[in-house]
A = this chain, B = another copy of it.
Amino acid sequence: MPANHKIFNDPVYGFVSVPYGLIFKLVEHPYFQRLRRIGQTSLTHYVYPGALHTRFHHALGAFHLMSQAIEVLKSKGADITDAEAEAVQAAILLHDIGHGPYSHTLESTIIDAHHERLSELFMEKINEELGGALNLTLQIFRDEYPKRFLHQLVSGQLDMDRLDYLTRDSFFTGVYEGVIGYDRIIKMLVVHEGQLAVEEKGIYSIEKFLVARRLMYWQVYLHKTVLAAEQMLVQVFKRAKFLVQQGHAVFAPPSLQPFLENNFGENDFLTPGNRLLDKFAKLDDADIFSAIKYWMEDSDSVLSFLSRSLVERRLFKLEFFDQKPGSDLVQEKLRQFAATWQGPESDLDYFILTGAESNKAYNAGGEGEEIQILFKPGWVKPMSAVIEEGLHSKNVTKYFICYPKNTRL
């Protein structure tokens, strides 16, 4: 008798078993295969060279954890039918299918639509193809299904997405600060009055998870060199779009061309004749860097300077401040750079960049959104009422200014 699972190798978990049937069909779908060419962590690999893992691998990993979570919950008596189990597995598998090239970095530059909305559109498209096989999946994904804990496993403060990405990103970056006890946490999950909760003895694992998440933000996701590279990538694209829309021909792969010429928004995806979803599905990380490499030689000096700096890794310097830096500081940086820049003054906005990043490790007090701890006697408390000190629920905002380091034009 043949195996009823397809096995994927994963250095993080050893193996991921995908059952033949709906789930395997989704994995084989070209929309999903496309995630093989979309990095999970954008330009993080400029600082952590191992961080080249993809959305494809992350989605499989989150699926794997979901399978374990379902098994644990069922062993503790949670009522989950086979159809619900498959649907919630499909939902986590597809939760990021809407991500485009360089994920969050270019999310609002290439198109103006949130990736979760695009994930939903992709799911609807596949659902049509499969004659409604994803109906239940979509209900769960949209949080319209009565058993709310299923949605919470897909999207919540303790969902399988977060458990996988922290584990996976810390594995591939080598940043131990992000290691979490994902298997311990999953073993402690329980359904209580229709909501996902964590058994009391899992408190320290949850605290560790929250701390790890916060540290990963500052040490990896918002690392100042990573952020500088990603800011540069955004500027490259802003400039390329500006030039194309001004009539300056910029070389680009045909798949990328329409996204330079237009500023597509969510509504454009809904216009059937557009086939915009399919056009978007053609794009991936390869097109972006392939294009940027030609732009190194472009006649526009803003585009070529930014492209060369990015490809050859002469990254901008980025400084964080606890408060918004005064305009005098920005003016000074502008003045310094202007002295070396031969183009018009209006170009300077591509080089002296300011912005803010914030990070809230945990969202305390959100109605019904908190991680719930189940105590032995049978009552739950939100995490914020259990351990104050480790929660770090404060929203930390850091302001930055980013500018060319050694200006070699």
Q: Which of A4-12, A88-96, A140-148 contacts B (4 or more CB under 8 A)?
A: A4-12
| A residues 132-170 in Cβ contact with B at 8 Å | none
Q: Which of A50-58, A235-243, A261-269, A347-355 contacts B (4 or more CB under 8 A)?
A: A50-58
* Cα A4 to Cα B76 with chains together (Å): 7
Query: What residues of chain B lie closer than 8 Å to A205, measured between beta carbons?
Result: 177
Q: Specify how many copies of this chain sit in the oligomer.
A: 4
CB distance from A247 to the nearest CB of B (A): 21
Report if A180 contacts B (CB, 8 A).
yes
* Cα A50 to Cα B8 with chains together (Å): 10
Whether B390 pairs with A211 at a CB distance below 8 angstroms is yes
Query: What residues of chain B lie closer than 8 Å to A28, measured between beta carbons?
Result: 313
Whether A175 pairs with B181 at a CB distance below 8 angstroms is yes
* Cα A287 to Cα B207 with chains together (Å): 40
Whether A255 pairs with B176 at a CB distance below 8 angstroms is no
Query: What residues of chain B lie closer than 8 Å to A115, measured between beta carbons?
Result: none
Q: Contacts A33-B313, A173-B11 hold; do A293 and B282 have CB atoms under 8 A apart?
A: yes
| A residues 163-213 in Cβ contact with B at 8 Å | 171-177, 179-181, 183-184, 187, 199, 204-205, 207-208, 211-212
| A residues 262-288 in Cβ contact with B at 8 Å | 282, 284-288
Q: Which of A41-49, A122-130, A330-338 contacts B (4 or more CB under 8 A)?
A: A41-49
**What are 19 residue pairs bridging A and B, where the CB atoms are less than 8 Å apart in the complex?**
A4-B75, A9-B50, A9-B174, A11-B50, A11-B173, A15-B183, A17-B187, A33-B311, A52-B54, A177-B181, A179-B179, A204-B219, A211-B211, A253-B290, A253-B293, A255-B293, A284-B289, A286-B286, A389-B394
Whether A174 pairs with B49 at a CB distance below 8 angstroms is no
Closest 8 CB pairs of A and B: A11-B174, A1-B77, A290-B290, A52-B52, A286-B289, A177-B208, A286-B290, A286-B286
Report if A215 contacts B (CB, 8 A).
yes
Supplied contacts A49-B54, A176-B184, A255-B293, 20 more A-B pairs, CB within 8 Å = A1-B76, A2-B76, A4-B75, A4-B76, A7-B187, A9-B47, A10-B50, A10-B174, A11-B171, A28-B313, A36-B313, A52-B52, A176-B181, A177-B208, A204-B219, A253-B253, A253-B293, A284-B293, A290-B290, A290-B291
* Cα A402 to Cα B28 with chains together (Å): 21
Interface residues of A (CB under 8 A from B): 1-5, 7-12, 14-15, 17, 28, 30, 33, 36-37, 45, 47-50, 52-54, 56-57, 60, 75-77, 171-177, 179-181, 183-184, 187, 199, 204-205, 207-208, 211-212, 215, 218-219, 251, 253-255, 282, 284-291, 293-294, 311-313, 389-390, 392, 394
Query: What residues of chain B lie closer than 8 Å to A12, measured between beta carbons?
Result: 50, 174
CB distance from A58 to the nearest CB of B (A): 10
Q: Contacts A76-B1, A215-B208 hold; do A15 and B187 have CB atoms under 8 A apart?
A: yes
Query: What residues of chain B lie closer than 8 Å to A8, measured between beta carbons?
Result: 49
Query: What residues of chain B lie closer than 8 Å to A4, measured between beta carbons?
Result: 75-76
In the complex, the chain B residue whose C-beta lies closest to that of A211 is B211
Q: Contacts A177-B204, A180-B176, A293-B287 hold; do A49 and B254 have CB atoms under 8 A apart?
A: no
In the complex, the chain B residue whose C-beta lies closest to that of A183 is B14
* Cα A405 to Cα B403 with chains together (Å): 53
Query: What residues of chain B lie closer than 8 Å to A290, measured between beta carbons?
Result: 253, 286-287, 290-291
In the complex, the chain B residue whose C-beta lies closest to that of A49 is B57
Whether B254 pairs with A175 at a CB distance below 8 angstroms is no
* Cα A389 to Cα B179 with chains together (Å): 20
